[in-house]
Structure 1
Amino acid sequence: MNLTPLIQSFVLHFGEMGSHWGINRTVGQMYALLFVSEKPLNADEMAEALGFSRSNISMGLKELVSWRLVKLQHLPGDRREYYSTPDDVWVIFQTLAEERKKREVDPTLTMLRGALLETPSNDADKHAQARMAQMHDLIDLTTSWFSDIQRLDVETLQKLMKLGAQVQKFLELKQKLPAFLGGSESNSDKE
């Protein structure tokens, strides 16, 4: 299987970017190849296209399966396993975000919760614990917001993302509106 210059450029770039995202170059290139492929590929086809050993491909596929970023399937009359990515890029984005949360954010929150339960023994520990509480609260708020966002359907999520900074303008207007109308904000509006 020969890669066109366009596909090869994408695959190579994705491999380089993978190292910045916490995956190795091989896995990044494998994912890029599967993402742009017109049909599901088996391990031998990927090894040939990328010039990697079959064992590297097998290890990379295990990692991609564990991240839930590729689908394993079988084709009628063929005993080999074929792999593909989800068709919807939003599903890929949500899966990747969920997995990163599970692998990176949740353990950090667990550690911080444990640290906040400790009784500080000196001023340095009190200061450190106060800083950890700030970090915990920020991560917890972000995680709660992310959970709310994850429940949105794709169409609503796209609309929300396209609003961008317009949301800030709306919130500023909402704060100014009661004063403009000559009233005062209720307690629920101040939260």
Structure 2
Amino acid sequence: MNLPPLHQDFILHFGEMGSRWGINRTVGQIYALLFLSEEPLNAETITDALSISRSNTSMGLKELQSWNLVRLRHKPGDRRDYFTTPDDLWEIVRTLVAERRKREIDPTLSTLRELEMRGPGGDAYAEARIAELRELIEMMTQFHDEMSRMETERLVQLMTMGRRLGGLLDTAQKMKIWGKS
């Protein structure tokens, strides 16, 4: 990579983290490069910057598009496709959460519901654990739905208030005003 050290370190780290998040290392590196770039980049520039094959670049960009994490851009007089990431970090986070939910949480929730609909299977403990897990996941998805409808400014306020509320609950519990006594 013929990039500044800051870029290189970020891109390499993002590639390593990508593999832990369930995406290909190269896909993580492509995303990191686009994330740091002020201007949209074409596939040739990405290929050269990361010293990867053109086919890896193409497959990586397709995967990032399937996750709705990159935007396709065109430049006047240039027939090539250019790619960029959203400027709004909250949009990126919301997209990641929504995509992970669609790919991981929703299928699990469907399976848990199907298992419960089978009726008594002779293992009351397992049935209760499945029901408990389904209820927790449903609560989390309802919370996600509410948060995803919220404007970014309100969401930031809520998160800031959440930290304060945690401290307030700790104080109230110590004073035996609220909670277990």
What's the TM-score, normalizing by structure 2? 0.90
How big is the shift at 1:170? Answer: 4.9
RMSD: 2.2
Match of 1:159, SS state, is helix
- 2:85 equivalent in structure 1: 85
Match of 1:52, SS state, is coil
- 2:159 equivalent in structure 1: 161
| Alpha-carbon distance between aligned partners in 2 of 1:168 and 1:161, rounded to the nearest angstrom | 11
Query: Deviation digits for residues 128-177 of structure 1, max 9, x if unmatched?
Result: 111000000000001101111111111111111122332235567899xx
Aligned counterparts, 1:16-27, within 5 A: 16-27=16-27
Query: Deviation digits for residues 9-44 of structure 1, max 9, x if unmatched?
Result: 100010001011111100000000000001000111
| Alpha-carbon distance between aligned partners in 2 of 1:29 and 1:136, rounded to the nearest angstrom | 35
Q: What is the identity, as a one-letter code, of the residue corresponding to 1:136? A: R
| Alpha-carbon distance between aligned partners in 2 of 1:172 and 1:104, rounded to the nearest angstrom | 34
- 1:54 equivalent in structure 2: 54
Q: What is the identity, as a one-letter code, of the residue corresponding to 2:150? A: L
- 2:142 equivalent in structure 1: 144
How big is the shift at 1:95? Answer: 0.6
Match of 2:68, SS state, is coil
Query: Deviation digits for residues 97-138 of structure 1, max 9, x if unmatched?
Result: 11011111000110000001012232x2x2211100000000
Structure 1 position 127 matched with structure 2 position 122: no
Q: What is the identity, as a one-letter code, of the residue corresponding to 2:158? A: L
| Alpha-carbon distance between aligned partners in 2 of 1:90 and 1:121, rounded to the nearest angstrom | 44
| Alpha-carbon distance between aligned partners in 2 of 1:2 and 1:107, rounded to the nearest angstrom | 42
> How many residue pairs get matched?
177
Structure 1 position 66 matched with structure 2 position 59: no
| Alpha-carbon distance between aligned partners in 2 of 1:106 and 1:38, rounded to the nearest angstrom | 35
Q: What is the identity, as a one-letter code, of the residue corresponding to 2:118? A: E
- After superposition, the Cα gap between the structure-2 partners of 1:79 and 1:38, relative to the gap in structure 1 and judged at 3 Å, is same
Match of 2:79, SS state, is coil
| Alpha-carbon distance between aligned partners in 2 of 1:74 and 1:121, rounded to the nearest angstrom | 58
Structure 1 position 8 matched with structure 2 position 8: yes
- 1:189 equivalent in structure 2: none
Q: What is the identity, as a one-letter code, of the residue corresponding to 1:43? A: A
| Alpha-carbon distance between aligned partners in 1 of 2:81 and 2:157, rounded to the nearest angstrom | 38
| Alpha-carbon distance between aligned partners in 1 of 2:171 and 2:145, rounded to the nearest angstrom | 27
Listed as ranges, the gaps of 5+ residues in structure 2 are none
Q: Find runs of 4+ consecutive structure 1 residues off by over 4 angstroms.
A: 169-175
Aligned counterparts, 1:34-45, within 5 A: 34-45=34-45
